[in-house]
């Protein structure tokens, strides 16, 4: 019997499976979620035979996850079971694989594992998980899906495999194999990057990168690593308006705009750090009964696992009340 046709679906941002609903990734299909995947109370994620689910962010589970024969679930962030979720069932067929790049945080008690993976390192009834060395985006090849590399390919690994780059910042890429004779980092076209011959490579531009690893013990010398993808983040915040100048005793307001749902961290006149959420892409920072000039300093903005440092300043002048003089009655 022929295998069913393959379909790849990419969801930009978060995917929420609502209460008591089921999300099924059909046999041989691939689902890629660039944000987090959250299963609400009673929701189920089912990955059928030989299907693949890749989540760049966190996987938040409040009920159950089922992996069929040959299924693969890769979580770039953390696996979380929020407090009050109840017992979470993870039913992983021995011929399936469940990989977590981040941490496992089970606030509701131990996970229940209906079955466990026989990948290296193997799982067991206490829900231990294997780890993945690298993901390589092979969208240009005939399969159109991601290749998976486990511990046997450790000499080819790079970390992190996916990064979001803030403006005027950088990310450090590293070869997993650290004891090679030499290294040469390259861009996506294979062009060597001048001077980048160490185990680490500091990247300040979006792109795909890999490293040629030279080691006399390798059967293939040099060995070409898997690729690391660095993308420019859309995370942003700005101070777009204020209500200054105002009179002493008035309320000062600074209007912020940026990425919807992001958390902005700031100070007022150098005081302790505060935060506010851009609930609909905007927020107003207010200072009541202002007596002196007010300075807001935006320190950083965060959304999910991505946090960007910023340095934005705005000042509202607070003028003293006018002296109207003393009125003496007749």
For 41-58, the pLDDT digits (tens) are 888 899 998 888 999 898
Give percent of the chain above pLDDT 90: 42
pTM of the model: 0.49
Pairing of the two strands 200-203 and 252-258? unpaired
Do 222 and 254 have their domain in common?
Answer: no
For 71-118, the pLDDT digits (tens) are 888 887 888 877 666 667 777 666 677 777 766 766 555 466 554 443
The DSSP-derived string for 48-83 is -TT-EEEESS-EE-SSEEEE-TT-EEEESS-EEE-T
Do 180 and 218 have their domain in common?
Answer: yes
Confidence of residue 330 (pLDDT cuts 50, 70, 90): low
Tell me which of 232, 259, 291 is where a domain ends. 232
Maximum distance among all Cα pairs of the chain, rounded to whole angstroms: 108
Do 28 and 85 have their domain in common?
Answer: yes
Q: Is residue 18 in a domain?
A: yes
Q: Is residue 54 in a domain?
A: yes
Q: Is residue 208 in a domain?
A: yes
Sole residue written with tokens 């700005």? 238
What is the rounded distance in angstroms from the CA atom of residue 287 to the CA atom of residue 295? Answer: 10
The DSSP-derived string for 185-216 is EE-TT-PBPTT--SSEEEE-S-EEEEEEEE-T
CATH code assigned at 161: 2.60.40.10
Average pLDDT over residues 200-214: 92
Q: Is residue 326 in a domain?
A: no
Do 27 and 120 have their domain in common?
Answer: yes
Average pLDDT over residues 284-302: 97
Compute how many other C-beta atoms are within 10 angstroms of the C-beta atom of residue 57. Answer: 23
* 71 close to 49: Cβ distance less than 8 angstroms: yes
Do 223 and 262 have their domain in common?
Answer: no
Do 220 and 182 have their domain in common?
Answer: yes
Confidence of residue 288 (pLDDT cuts 50, 70, 90): very high
Confidence of residue 270 (pLDDT cuts 50, 70, 90): very high
pLDDT on residue 143: 35
What is the rounded distance in angstroms from the CA atom of residue 81 to the CA atom of residue 215? Answer: 42
Do 176 and 212 have their domain in common?
Answer: yes
In total, how many domains does the chain have? 3
For 63-73, the pLDDT digits (tens) are 778 777 778 88
For 144-197, the pLDDT digits (tens) are 334 444 434 567 777 777 778 888 888 999 998 899 999 999 988 889 999 999
Q: What does residue 248 show for φ and ψ, rounded to 5 degrees?
A: -55, 135
In sequence order, the β-bridge partners of residue 165 are 232
Segment holding 289, helix H or strand E: none
Q: Is residue 220 in a domain?
A: yes
Q: 108: domain range?
A: 8-132
What is the rounded distance in angstroms from the CA atom of residue 131 to the CA atom of residue 288? Answer: 51
Do 119 and 188 have their domain in common?
Answer: no
Do 182 and 257 have their domain in common?
Answer: no
Segment holding 184, helix H or strand E: strand 182-186
Mean predicted lDDT score pLDDT of the chain: 80
Do 14 and 111 have their domain in common?
Answer: yes
Q: Is residue 19 in a domain?
A: yes
Give percent of the chain above pLDDT 70: 77
């Amino acid at each position: 019997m022929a295998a069913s046709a393959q379909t790849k679906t990419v969801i930009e941002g978060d995917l929420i499976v609502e209460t008591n609903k089921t999300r099924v990734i059909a046999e041989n299909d691939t689902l890629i979620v660039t944000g987090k995947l959250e299963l609400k109370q009673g929701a189920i994620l089912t990955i059928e035979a030989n299907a693949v689910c890749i989540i760049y962010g966190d996987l938040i589970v409040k009920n159950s996850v089922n992996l069929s024969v040959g299924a693969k679930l890769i979580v770039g962030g953390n696996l979380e079971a929020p407090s009050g979720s109840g017992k979470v069932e993870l039913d992983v067929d021995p011929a399936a694989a469940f990989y977590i790049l981040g941490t496992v945080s089970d606030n509701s008690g131990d996970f229940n594992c209906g079955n466990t993976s026989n990948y290296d390192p193997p799982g067991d009834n206490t829900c231990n998980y294997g780890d993945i060395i690298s993901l390589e985006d092979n969208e240009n090849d005939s399969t159109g899906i991601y290749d998976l590399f486990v511990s046997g390919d450790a000499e080819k690994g790079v970390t992190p495999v996916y990064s979001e780059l803030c403006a005027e910042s950088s990310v450090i890429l590293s070869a997993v194999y650290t004891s090679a004779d030499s290294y040469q980092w390259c861009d996506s076209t294979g062009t060597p990057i001048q001077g980048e011959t160490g185990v680490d490579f500091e990247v300040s531009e979006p792109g795909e990168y890999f490293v040629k690893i030279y080691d006399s013990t390798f059967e293939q010398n040099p060995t070409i690593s898997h690729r690391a993808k660095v993308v420019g983040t859309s995370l942003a915040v700005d101070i777009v308006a204020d209500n200054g100048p105002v009179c002493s005793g008035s309320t000062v307001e600074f209007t912020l705009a940026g990425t919807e749902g992001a958390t902005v961290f700031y100070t007022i006149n150098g005081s302790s750090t505060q935060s506010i959420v851009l609930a609909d892409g905007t927020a107003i920072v207010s200072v009541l009964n202002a007596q002196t000039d007010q300075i807001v300093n935006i320190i950083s903005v965060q959304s999910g696992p991505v946090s960007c440092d910023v340095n934005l300043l705005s000042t509202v002048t607070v003028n003293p009340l006018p002296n109207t003089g003393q009125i003496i009655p007749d």
